[in-house]
Structure formats: C-alpha cells, structure tokens
Amino acid sequence: MNLWHQLIGSLPGEWAQLEFMRLALLAVLLAAPLYAVLGCLVVNSRMAFFSEAIGHAALTGVALGTLAGLADPTPAVLLFSALLALVIAWLRRQSAVSSDTIIGLVMAGAVALGVVLLSRGGGFNRYTHFLIGDILTIAPGELARLAALALATLLVWGLLFNKLFLATLHPVLARSRGVNVWAVEALCSVVIALVVAMSIAWIGLLVINSLLILPAAAARNLARSTAAHLAWALLFSFLAGVAGLLISFYAATATGATIVLAALLLFLLTLPFRRH
Amino acid sequence: MLCCALLTLVANAAPLRIVTTFYPLQIATLNITSNAADVVVSNLTPPTSGCLHDYQLTPADLARLAHADVLIINGGGLESFLEKARRTAPRAKVIEASAGIELLAGNPHVWVSPELAARQAENIGAALAKLDAQNAELYRRNAAAYAARLRALTEKMRAGLKGVAARQIITLHEAFPYFAREFGFTIAGVVEREPGAAPDARELADTIKLVREQQVRAIFVEPQYPTRSAEAIARATGAKIATLDPAVTGPVSAEAYLQIMENNLAELQRVLK
C-alpha cells in the first residue's frame, strides 16, 4: 500500500499528491477488470436489463440495512441483491411471462419498496448519495473488500467460463453436454448482483449498470473473437475509469457519472468500426 | 352513534392545537406551554427528520397541519417546502420564531446558538400570549424562565470554552455559524455544501488543503448525516472526528435542547483542549 502511494505520488499533477485520489484510482483499477469481464457476459447473454434491475433494486437493500440499524448498509445490500437475483432466475424459469416482463416487475416492486421504506419519516433526500455514489471517500478497508470480491469473481468466472459461454450461446447443446444450465445461470446472476451491489456506494445506483455494459458494448463493436472482445473490454474499462476519475477531479463533477460518460464516448467512437 | 361521539368530542375538547414545524421549536414550545390548560403541542415532522432542507411532507403531516390553530415556524427560509402546503391550514395563526433576529447571509440555523434560542423562546412566548388570553400570563412566565435557563447555559458554555486553544473548526454542513459566533469559533470550511450530497474531488481537495494550512484540529460531523466524506478528510490529514449536534433530532422532552448543548460543550472541550 505504501509502495502504491509512493509510486502514484511521484506522478505529475495535483491529483497524484492527494491520498484520496490515489485510493480512488486503485479502486477504479481493481473494479475495471471486474466490470469488463462481467460486462462481456452481460452483453453476450442479453442480461443488461437484469443488471440494471439489480442496480436499482439495491435501493431496497439500503433501506433494509438502514432499518436494521446498520451504520453501513452494504451487507444488507449484498444479501438482498443476491436473493433478488435468485428470485429473478427462478421466476424466469417458472413463469410463462417473458423474461423482460419478469425483470421489469421485480425491479419496479423492489424500487418502490425501497422508496417507501426510506421515505418513512420524510427523509428520503438523505439517501441521495446512494443514487450518485462516492468513490472519492473509499476507505482502505473497503478496498480490501473490493479486492477480495474481484479475486473471487475472476476465480468463478475462470472456472465456469466454458460452461457459461455454452449455456448462454446454446442452452440445448449445453444441456446435452451435461451442463446444469439453470445452476450456471443462477450462479452467474448472483455474481453480477454481488458486484453491482458492492459498487453502488461508490458509483451510484443510477449509473452503475452503464459501467458494466458500455465497455463491453464498445468492445463488441471492434472485436472479431471472444478473446478480442474481452481484451478490448478490459482496455476500455480501464481507460474510461482512469479518464473519468481524472476529468471529474479537474472539472469538479461527480466521479461515477463522469466515468460513465467517458465509457459512452468510447462506445460512440467505436461505433463506425462496427462489423455488420 | 358516531355522530354523537363526534359532537361530544368537539364540545368537550376544543383545545388550542399548536403545531411546530420541527424539533427544536417543539422543545421550546413544550417549555413555554408547560402546565397550560387545553393546549396540545405537536410537531409537523417526526423528531427524526433533522434539518428541514431534506424534508418531504407525508400525508400524516398534512393532516396535522390542517387541524392546527397555531403554526410555529422557524422562518428565515427553512420552511420553504411548506409554502404550498400552508394553504391547507388557512385558519392557523403563524408565529415566526426568528422574527427580529438578524440572519447571517440568509442562513436559517439560528436555534443552534443557545442565546438565539432564548430569543426564539421569548418570541414564541409573546406571540402565544397574544393569541391565547386564557394562558397569556403562564406563557410569558414560562418563556422568561426557559430563556433564563438558556442564557445561563450560554454563559456556562462561554466560560467552559474560554480555555480552548483551537479556534478553527470544520463542520459537516452550514448549520453552525450562529453557534460559532456565540462562542468565538471560526468555521474554516464545511464538508458538504449541500447536506447529504458528497463533495466532488475539487471540494474534497480544497477542504484537505484548508485543514492542513489552518491546522484545523477537528472535523465535526452531525448525528443526522453520513460521515464518509469527513472520515476521508480525517484520514488524509490526521484531524480528529467529533460530533456536534445541531439539535434537530432527539427525545421529545423539555430538557432535550439543554442536554444536547451540554453534550456539545463536553465534546468541544474533549477534542479541542
């Protein structure tokens, strides 16, 4: 950790002299590969709406954590999001209604519940920092948690990549090969939910989903293979994260949303190179 | 049957319904109306709401407002959210507690100074005495007694803070200019220009620079707001985190405001000595 501070502290620019910027940069670098990897998954398996729903529904997790008297509602958010991911996965299998309808109604229900719980006593505005997020005040302890989550996610992803890939591309073939499609899908939903839930305090639940899908979508414009897709997504994710952080410092804007705009810009720049 | 019950209720009770807009006014009014016959004091917003710039009215609040005979507001723009809603209570007489108190740059947080809280209590007492002749004498007496206790507390706090060397403080939002002026502190900066909204990188960097340059000893957070930003500043600068309560939430009891200020005194002495 000291090494990191020394290393970044030797860079030019006012931001590099500030401890909170160095910590925020580390957070961005830890989270970027996570978003890239999961983003590819989300984009390929058309789960963008699902991750959006999880991000918004995290509001209810915040509410439940606050009601339970937790000073930091993150554990409640993690638990609630994971549970919700399983509920959505289960409903998708059970119900005759199409999947986007299921996700839509679960999201609306969860957001409404969150607003109702938080507005009891009329103080909803006090929770706006969860809508915008705040990566600048990330504490060393939270960085450790983020690193652990990143490690666990990459591990699951590495172990299950082939099965996951097959299950999303060709469920019937996957089933004939003995892959438990539902279990794989559910696990992957839970991992996405955990990453989204963990990040909302830093990025804000209004824009968290775009960090997941924009770099992967931009990468898809350029990539000709699965490996290239991943590589481009990683590059864009890092690029948008670092650029957004630095721009937000000099422009005095909310960091999470600035990172999202940087990612959107990358997407627009890659649009002309799209393969038809 | 129901009709009869309602009729008796109206005939018997008809107490003077006093509604205060938020917690510190409720505590002051409880003191002023202590032992008054046929008076009901209730607060428009729950005692957990904090500063009203965050507030959203609920239907229950509007119902209380509609039944109010007297509405006691802080004034100074704190109740701007109430402008429209006040039409639902056309018969309520409005008492502005801050009447005659000069505002610092339009900042409405006057009650945070116990001296100005005494002025507010006197204002409320005088205005209530005009509206309710039956209890007028009692209101005046109670208000004078409570104001005297607040002034005694001010003196005690002034004496207790005299020996404190560090005079520069940083507070969470702009709630303390009157308090600081009363006790000779300078607010070097605030963590959140908009309470509840996290400062951006530039603001955070400026505050850290300020803490270092002016050697600010402590950053004061408020029990009603999240403390993440203040903690980040404390981590970067080694300044202490302490709690300063603007007395906007707490137990509904006549002694509550005095107790909160006693706690503030102890906390200031603890971190700034």
Q: Is residue A260 within 8 Å of A207, Cβ to Cβ?
A: yes
- Predicted local distance difference test score (pLDDT) of residue A68: 83
For B208-230, write each residue's pLDDT tens digit. 999 999 889 899 998 877 788 89
Residues on chain A touching B53 (C-beta within 8 angstroms):
125
Residue B149 and residue B30 in one domain: yes
Residue range of the domain that includes B32: 8-156
ipTM: 0.71
Residue B166 and residue B134 in one domain: no
Residues on chain A touching B232 (C-beta within 8 angstroms):
20, 136-139
- Predicted local distance difference test score (pLDDT) of residue A15: 86
Measuring CA to CA, which residue among A134, A122, A140 is closest to residue A205?
A134
- With CA atoms as reference, the chain B residue closest to A255 would be B200
Whether B13 has a pLDDT exceeding 70, the answer reads no
Question: Where does a domain end: B140, B156, B172?
Answer: B156
Alpha helical stretches, state H, chain B: 2-12, 23-32, 59-66, 114-131, 136-161, 177-183, 201-213, 228-237, 256-272
Q: Which amino acid is at A156?
A: V
For A147-201, write each residue's pLDDT tens digit. 999 999 888 888 888 888 787 778 788 888 888 888 888 888 888 888 888 888 8
Closest CB from A122, A127, A254 relative to B45: A122
Residue B114 and residue B183 in one domain: no
| B196 in reach of chain A (CB within 8 A) | yes
For B157-205, write each residue's pLDDT tens digit. 999 998 888 888 999 888 999 999 999 999 988 888 776 677 888 888 8
d(CA B55, CA A62): 19
d(CA A110, CA A105): 8
Residue A192 CB-density burial (10 A; 0-12 exposed, 13-18 middle, 19+ buried):
buried
Closest CB from B49, B224, B236 relative to A19: B236
Domain ranges of chain A: 18-205
Question: Where does a domain end: B137, B156, B175?
Answer: B156
Residue B190 and residue B208 in one domain: yes
Q: Is residue B177 within 8 Å of A225, Cβ to Cβ?
A: no
Residue A6 CB-density burial (10 A; 0-12 exposed, 13-18 middle, 19+ buried):
exposed
Q: Which of B228, B235, B237, B241 to mutate to test the interface with A (most CBs of A within 10 A)?
A: B228
**Binary contact (B196, A137; C-beta < 8 A):** no
Measuring CA to CA, which residue among A226, A221, A249, A57 is closest to residue A135?
A249
Residues on chain A touching B229 (C-beta within 8 angstroms):
134, 136-137
Residue B252 and residue B214 in one domain: yes
Decide if B3 is inside a domain.
no
- With CA atoms as reference, the chain A residue closest to B207 would be A18
Measuring CA to CA, which residue among A115, A199, A128, A24 is closest to residue B197?
A128
Nearest CA-CA distance, residue A109 and chain B, Å: 21
| B213 in reach of chain A (CB within 8 A) | no
**Binary contact (B201, A21; C-beta < 8 A):** yes
Residue B170 and residue B149 in one domain: no
- Predicted local distance difference test score (pLDDT) of residue B12: 47
Residues forming beta bridges with residue B171, ordered by sequence position:
B190, B220
**Binary contact (A248, B201; C-beta < 8 A):** yes
Q: Is residue B109 within 8 Å of B246, Cβ to Cβ?
A: yes
Residue B28 and residue B74 in one domain: yes
For B42-69, write each residue's pLDDT tens digit. 998 877 766 676 677 778 888 888 889 9
Residue B184 and residue B255 in one domain: yes
Measuring CA to CA, which residue among A196, A172, A217, A223 is closest to residue A85?
A196
Helices and strands counted in chain A (H then E)? 12, 0
Whether B25 has a pLDDT exceeding 50, the answer reads yes
Q: What is the CATH number of the domain that holds B30?
A: 3.40.50.1980
**Mean of per-residue pLDDT scores for chain A:** 87
**Given 3.40.50.300, 1.10.3470.10, 3.40.50.1820, 3.30.1600.10, which CATH number is that of A18-205?**
1.10.3470.10
pTM passes above 0.90 = no
Q: Is residue A129 within 8 Å of B198, Cβ to Cβ?
A: yes
Decide if B237 is inside a domain.
yes
Q: From chain A, which residues contact B within 8 Å (Cβ)?
A: 14-15, 18-21, 24, 119, 121-129, 132-134, 136-139, 248-250, 252-255
Residues on chain B touching A129 (C-beta within 8 angstroms):
196-198, 226, 228
Closest CB from B57, B224, B236 relative to A122: B57
Mapping DSSP to helix (H, G, I), strand (E, B) and coil, where does residue B43 land? strand
Residue B30 and residue B126 in one domain: yes
Residue B146 and residue B177 in one domain: no
**Binary contact (A124, B56; C-beta < 8 A):** yes
For A134-156, write each residue's pLDDT tens digit. 888 888 888 999 999 999 988 88
Question: Where does a domain end: B156, B172, B187?
Answer: B156
**Binary contact (A254, B200; C-beta < 8 A):** yes
Closest CB from B56, B61, B231 relative to A125: B56
Number of domains in chain B: 2
- Predicted local distance difference test score (pLDDT) of residue B5: 44
Nearest CA-CA distance, residue A255 and chain B, Å: 7
Nearest CA-CA distance, residue A45 and chain B, Å: 35
d(CA A67, CA A48): 30
Residues on chain A touching B199 (C-beta within 8 angstroms):
136
Q: Is residue B111 within 8 Å of B78, Cβ to Cβ?
A: no
Residues on chain A touching B55 (C-beta within 8 angstroms):
122-123, 125
